[in-house]
Amino acid sequence: MGAKEVLEYMAGILLEYLEELKDTKPNDNDCFGYGERTAYTECLEMIQLWKNAKQVGLDFEIEKKFPL
């Protein structure tokens, strides 16, 4: 796999994970889930710095779609 394919794969997986965790809020019962969501959001924001990010579907403001 080349770098492009790895970034595409990572972006897709991270978006899937965020969809699963989109309703997770910070609370005493599920701090881990909220931490996961924060980490995935940060990773996607880094991938969004890639010049071809829009071509793999990262053409939106991540924190607007997945607010923390």
CB 61 within 8 A of CB 43: no
pLDDT at 21: 86
Residue 51 makes CB contacts below 8 A (sequence gap 6+) with: none
Which is nearest to 45 in space by CA: 22, 24, 66? 66
pLDDT, one tens digit per residue, over 4-33 is 999 999 999 999 999 988 877 777 566 777
Could you tell me the pTM of the whole model? 0.84
Q: How far, in whole angstroms, is CA 20 from its chain's centroid?
A: 11
Closest CA to 68 of 21, 29, 10, 4: 21
